[in-house]
Amino acid sequence: MKQYIKFSLGFLVTLCLLFSCARPPQQVIETPQSVLESGSTRDFTVIRMEGEFGVASGFFVDQDKIATNIHVAAYPGIIFARSPDQKTIWTVEGITAFDAKNDLVILKVAGKGVPFPIADSDTVKVGDIVMTAGYPNGKYRITKGTIYGVRGSDKWIQMRIELSGGNSGGPVQNSKGQIIGIVSGVETPYSYAIPSNALRALLTHSEPIEFLTQWRKREPIRAYVYSVQGQVKYNANRYDEAIADLDKAIELNPKKADAYYNRGLSKFRLGDLESKKGNTEKARRLYESGIEDSTQAIKLIPEDVFAYHNRAGGKFRLAQLETDIAKTQQYYQDAIDDWTQVIKLNSELADPYNNLGIAKVRLGETNADQGDISAAQELYVAAIQDCTQAIQLNPEYPDPYINRGYAQSRLGKTKTDKGDIVGAEALYTATVRDCTQAIQLNPENAAAYGNRGVAKAALGNAEGAIEDFDAAIRLDPEEAEYFHERGLAKEALGQHKAAKADFEKVKELDPDVGKSLEIIR
């Protein structure tokens, strides 16, 4: 299962790389049974799989065969297959068939169970009601949701349903109680299932039983173990170790898309750490390498919106580091292109619109710096539209309000410079309104106070601006620009001694920024 990252740009603008859209409503049922269209039930058993991996799920596909994920069975050690009440235990005797590409394995067990009926996954339609059963957090749970789509490259089923690691290997049933998929991955706010037709094809293979210990020595299976270990280490912020494990996974299976994906994320996170330390060149190399990994993941799964999403974030990071204006603009445009592709593939997620807006603002600022005000204004207007779309998709998400406010503020400045005071005031007022909304949604966001403070200062409300900068500094006391903006507001009120103290603080926090801001003053 993939993991995603979120990072902040600092003053005035935030960028999100973690999909945080509101989840669709879902119905959770705790009863361990299959729910059929007629309302009747059958006593199908969803198996509780236990081992080194923790707790996962499986289900009978024949009287003595259980289907589950490879990433569940690949770990060393004994696997226990238990009934929901844990009173019945089936001994795993070995492997009868597996599909390394689709993360699917059939286990031969001693004893018998009731096999689930398997449907044709090609009949699945968007909007169909589905039900999953499994052991999230070790507890049996049945959850209902709907089909969002089917990936063309591998026919994996995308679902609007909230699942977690304990659901891995569990059945996905249609309204008739038939299996149409097997849970394998989560990409918030969606979950993915292997199509049942991949399972049906696997069941046609009749091969001798292979012992688990021998099967686990196969390179594609070992790749799963390293891939999962890499993800676990990524989650623990042990990025170097995660990369080492993911390197091994890719060496064993060069077509393992999720290993490239998570290795790219690990490199982005390491790059962020190096950037904060001022190690620009090292950060740049990590970002470039992370982009290469994201590109490889896209080549393997062309419809993976999240790989495009994260690659765009890597390009945005490079733009932040770049000193050559032409390269900076190209990186921003590349990021815009990738987020545009995300929206083409999935127009229902708020974050890509939000990030698209940020990238357009930044690109617009580079145009303004070069004197191309018309191009800058077009990009600011487009950014406002993108952030507005993000807000419409998720009104409870504060970041688009902040970023729309910033775009409005930048557009307002261009109007001020051209003498359109009335137009500028309207935009600054809109910025105050948006940032106030963001603060209501999240009172601990320093950027919202910072943006609102800048807009209030532009409107001539220096006292109100200082109050906002005070709040921003309380929340983020290491941001030099908050002190600089507060100093300017104090100067406007004639508080020269207090303003000087703020400007000195800027130099202390960031000598380079302090020097450049002093030149601007």
| pLDDT for position 44 | 67
Token pair in block for residue 122: 């090609």
Give the per-residue pLDDT at 52.
83
**What pTM does this model have?**
0.86
Give the C-alpha separation, 438 to 444, whole Å: 10
Inter-residue contact 142 to 28 (CB < 8 Å): yes
Planar angle of CA 185, 189, 190, nearest 5 degrees: 40
What's the rounded Cα separation, in Å, for the pair 262 and 294?
Answer: 9
pLDDT tens, residue order, the chain (521 aa): 332 222 223 233 444 433 223 333 344 444 444 433 333 334 568 999 998 888 999 999 999 999 999 999 998 888 989 998 888 999 999 999 999 999 999 999 999 999 999 999 999 999 999 999 999 988 999 999 999 999 988 999 999 998 888 999 999 999 999 999 999 988 777 899 999 999 999 999 877 899 999 999 999 999 999 999 999 999 999 999 999 999 999 999 999 999 999 999 999 999 999 999 999 999 999 999 999 999 999 999 999 999 999 999 999 999 999 999 999 999 999 999 999 999 999 999 999 999 999 999 999 999 999 999 999 999 999 999 999 999 999 999 999 999 999 999 999 999 999 999 999 999 999 999 999 999 999 999 999 999 999 999 999 999 999 999 999 999 999 999 999 999 999 999 999 999 999 999 999 998 766 555 544 44
Q: Which residues pair with 81 in a beta bridge?
A: 49, 90
d(CA 265, CA 60) in angstroms, rounded, equals 36
189 token code pair: 């706010």
* CA distances from residue 77 to 72, 201, 216 in whole angstroms, order as listed: 11, 28, 10
| CATH, domain range 31-215 | 2.40.10.120
Q: Do residues 365 and 356 make contact, with C-beta atoms less than 8 angstroms apart?
A: no
Closest to 65 in 3D by CA, of 191, 200, 163, 156: 200
d(Cα 193, Cα 133) in Å, to the nearest integer?
12
Q: Are the CB atoms for 26 and 143 separated by under 8 Å?
A: yes
| Strand segments (E) across 414-486 | none
Three-state SS for 320-371 is: HHCCCHHHHHHHHHHHHHHHHHHHHHCCCCHHHHHHHHHHHHHHHHHHHHCC
The confidence score (pLDDT) of residue 280 equals 95
Domain boundaries, the chain: 31-215
b/e sequence 383-419, b meaning 16+ C-beta within 10 Å: bbebbbbbbebbeebbbbbbbbbbbbbbbbbbbbeee
DSSP state of 210: B
